[in-house]
Amino acid sequence: MGIFDISFILVILSALLTLFLSRYVLRNKPITQIQRLTSISFICLFIMCIGLIVQKICAVFFHANPVYFEGFVYLGTCFLPVVFFLVALSFSKTKIVFTKKYALLFVIPILTLLILWTNNFHHLFYQKYSFDLNEMMYGPYAYIHLAYTYGLFAVGIAIMLRHTVKNSGFFSKQSLLIIVGVSIPVIVNILGSFNIIHMDIYTTPISFIAAIICISFSIFKFHFSSITPIALEKIVDRMSDCYIVLNEQNVIVDFNKPFLSVFNTQDNKIRNHNVFDIDKNISFERLQKAIQSVSLSSKTASYEAYVKNIKKYFNVEVSSIIDKGNFLGTLILFKDVTQHESDLKTIKDNQDMLVERERFASLGQMIGGIAHNLKTPIMSIAGATEALTDLINEYDASIGDDEVTFEDHHEIAKEMSSWIAKIKTHTAYMSDVITAVKGQAISSNESVESFTIDDLIKRVSILMKHELKHSLVELNYDLSVDNNFTLHGNINALVQVIDNLISNAIQSYNGQPDNVIDFITKQENNSLIISIRDYGSGMSKDVQNKLFKEMITTKGKNGTGLGLFMSYSNIKAKFNGNITFESEVGKGTTFNIIIPCEKNIEIAND
């Protein structure tokens, strides 16, 4: 029997390779559980190979009975399936927490070694030993050992296969490569054990060479011991967002657990089903357009969708999966934004309430002034009616009086016309007051109309007259734009903004009388600029930096900060305009309302 035949050389190469790989998998620090288990599996293979090498050398050169070396060879053979099973568990679960139940896995391997070491007394494992497996005669216990060994290998392969099915692409190739490698020696040994093919005792370690090559390629190429692929499934199943993966035919090939729970469905109802058939509550028209728009491109399409049956809002992101220019499928991510939508609605409702409260508070402050503004014309009208009553009585008494001439009749008529003209003037003023108040009182009044600078000034003057008079502040008009200059939009919104700026300007004087506020109009670069300038206390740099960005007030507990914030928002939204300002502490502040003349019609209509 020659020693350096091809089988013996391959066994030596297997021993060297397993020794190298057992150390190589431990190169990355810190060492993980799967690295240790993988290294132990290579050590088991190394023990098998060394035992067979020593067995053949001793049998050829020293004529030693080869069966005596089986006890050493089986130190690797018995524990290899157990270690492989643990590798499979660690691969699928990321990390195993070892408990007492795992010790049961070692009962059969330890019992096998004890029976093998005492085989000469009972022949339960070998009845006849031979280098040729076809001449080998096994005892009854050997079949228990074989069933347990191949059973563990089969379960380990099944675990890896199940884990592979749940993953795709890169990770699937990694697991399949390991499964193919491990399957080769298992299949060879099963065929040899049942005398289907001719085998000798070296066939098993030689068949493991293929497994070693596959596992080595997995380690070098796919970083088998890295925690990233191992933990991927756990990560995607614990993430709050749902996802599904479609193949080229839009058939669902993968998804995570949150998708099943959120959409109240089951694995068998969606896997291998076309995405457009799974749920009629999803807007498939938009989804189909999104899938078509991202195919063969790296961009992402997104849209917001509401799913009726589960009453949830989702931000749907659709991306194509492309590998080296080849389209593999589509990834659809569902981000639940239901709470976000609810929060936005709550914020909007609260903001609307604050705006309404501020608006009515401002209106309430005007009521006293409005009452005073109406009191004067009402008293004047009352006086005019008394005068008209006197003239009517005088005219009635003059009828039939020969001393009353035609000139006297004309004089009475002239005086009556004079008083009627005064009544018309006062009633027109009262109408303007009512119109101005009504415009500020009705929050739903979003009408778009044409109005002149004169209309604007008239309403502002009416609404601010009392506050200006009460504060002993004069509103000085510097109008560089014709009073008939026409604007288009919501006049009430613009009046509210200007009134708020004038009110702030009054308060900047801190109650000091005999001051002036400038109301300036001018036209620059096809825009109308309305400026409100005071010469009061001015604003600090800190207030200026926050202005228009948040609801800030300089009035302490008496202010909400909504006034300027609302003013800025109104000009932006309803006139496509802007508000700027210049301020210096102790010298005053100027606010500039800039309204584009050409665009305010379209913006108001929007």
pLDDT tens, residue by residue, 503-527: 889 988 988 888 999 999 999 888 9
Over residues 193-217, the mean pLDDT reads 70
Residue 176 has pLDDT above 50, yes or no: yes
Side-chain half-sphere CA neighbours of 142 within 13 A: 18
**Hey, how many other C-beta atoms are within 10 angstroms of the C-beta on 210?**
16
Distance, CA of 581 to chain centre? 37
User: Are 582 and 564 within one domain?
Assistant: yes
Amino acid 99 reads T
Per-residue tokens: 261 = 């729970």
Tell me, yes or no, whether 341 lies in a domain.
no
The CATH number given to whatever domain includes residue 56 is 1.20.1070
Tell me, yes or no, whether 343 lies in a domain.
no
Tell me, yes or no, whether 342 lies in a domain.
no
User: Are 262 and 382 within one domain?
Assistant: no
% of the chain residues with pLDDT over 70:
77
Please, what is the average pLDDT of the chain?
79
The CATH number given to whatever domain includes residue 510 is 3.30.565.10
Angle between helices 227-238 and 70-93 (to 10 degrees): 40
Residue 595 has pLDDT above 80, yes or no: yes
User: Are 162 and 291 within one domain?
Assistant: no
What is the per-residue pLDDT for 295?
A: 78
Per-residue tokens: 145 = 């050992």
User: Are 329 and 478 within one domain?
Assistant: no
Tell me, yes or no, whether 518 lies in a domain.
yes
Of 280, 224, 200, nearest in space to 7 by CA: 200
Pairwise pLDDT comparison (281 vs 430), residue with the higher score? 430
User: Are 355 and 332 within one domain?
Assistant: no
User: Are 495 and 581 within one domain?
Assistant: yes
% of the chain residues with pLDDT over 90:
15
Tell me, yes or no, whether 80 lies in a domain.
yes
Side-chain half-sphere CA neighbours of 557 within 13 A: 0
Tell me, yes or no, whether 1 lies in a domain.
no
User: Are 537 and 593 within one domain?
Assistant: yes
Domain that holds residue 170: 6-231
Categorize the per-residue pLDDT at 425 as very low, low, confident or very high, splitting at 50, 70 and 90: confident
How far from each other are the two terminal CA atoms of the chain, in whole angstroms?
98
Pairwise pLDDT comparison (430 vs 483), residue with the higher score? 483
Phi-psi region of 562 (alpha: psi -120 to 50; beta: other; left: phi over 0): alpha
What is the per-residue pLDDT for 601?
A: 38
- Into how many domains does the chain fold? 4
Categorize the per-residue pLDDT at 441 as very low, low, confident or very high, splitting at 50, 70 and 90: low
Categorize the per-residue pLDDT at 257 as very low, low, confident or very high, splitting at 50, 70 and 90: confident
Tell me, yes or no, whether 314 lies in a domain.
yes
Pairwise pLDDT comparison (207 vs 2), residue with the higher score? 207
3-state secondary structure of 452: strand
What is the per-residue pLDDT for 351?
A: 63
What is the per-residue pLDDT for 518?
A: 96
What is the per-residue pLDDT for 558?
A: 43
Pairwise pLDDT comparison (201 vs 600), residue with the higher score? 201
Residue labelled with tokens 């728009």? 293
In sequence order, what are the residues at sequence separation of 6 or more whose Cβ sits closer than 8 angstroms to the Cβ of residue 399? none
Domain-ending residue, one of 425, 444, 463: 444
- What is the per-residue pLDDT across 353-395, written as a single tens digit (0 to 9) for each? 665 666 565 566 556 556 666 776 788 788 888 888 888 888 8
User: Are 386 and 490 within one domain?
Assistant: no
User: Are 59 and 200 within one domain?
Assistant: yes
Per-residue tokens: 216 = 């080595």
Domain-ending residue, one of 231, 264, 291: 231
Pairwise pLDDT comparison (171 vs 78), residue with the higher score? 78
Distance, CA of 568 to chain centre? 29
Residue 603 has pLDDT above 50, yes or no: no
The CATH number given to whatever domain includes residue 316 is 3.30.450.20
Q: Strand 588-596 to strand 515-524: parallel, antiparallel, or no bridges (unpaired)?
A: unpaired
What is the per-residue pLDDT for 93?
A: 73
Q: In this predicted structure, which of 25-39, 396-410, 555-569 has the lowest mean pLDDT? A: 555-569
3-state secondary structure of 382: helix
SS (H, E, C) 3-50: CCCHHHHHHHHHHHHHHHHHHHCCCCCCCCHHHHHHHHHHHHHHHHHH
Distance CA 565, CA 553 (A): 10
- What is the per-residue pLDDT across 296-309, written as a single tens digit (0 to 9) for each? 777 888 888 888 87
* Per-residue DSSP letter, 343: H
Pairwise pLDDT comparison (225 vs 249), residue with the higher score? 249
What is the per-residue pLDDT for 519?
A: 95
Residue 602 has pLDDT above 80, yes or no: no
**Hey, how many other C-beta atoms are within 10 angstroms of the C-beta on 560?**
17
Residue labelled with tokens 């070296």? 202
User: Are 384 and 260 within one domain?
Assistant: no
Over residues 417-439, the mean pLDDT reads 78
* Per-residue DSSP letter, 196: S
Q: In this predicted structure, which of 194-203, 492-501, 547-556 has the lowest mean pLDDT? A: 547-556
What is the per-residue pLDDT for 383?
A: 81
What is the per-residue pLDDT for 521?
A: 94
Side-chain half-sphere CA neighbours of 498 within 13 A: 29
Q: In this predicted structure, which of 11-15, 218-222, 566-570 has the lowest mean pLDDT? A: 218-222
What is the per-residue pLDDT for 217?
A: 66
Distance, CA of 105 to chain centre? 46
User: Are 458 and 405 within one domain?
Assistant: no
Tell me, yes or no, whether 601 lies in a domain.
yes
User: Are 488 and 532 within one domain?
Assistant: yes
Domain-ending residue, one of 398, 419, 444: 444
Distance CA 207, CA 187 (A): 9
Amino acid 425 reads T
**Hey, how many other C-beta atoms are within 10 angstroms of the C-beta on 337?**
17
Q: In this predicted structure, which of 21-30, 103-112, 480-489 has the lowest mean pLDDT? A: 21-30
Pairwise pLDDT comparison (515 vs 67), residue with the higher score? 515
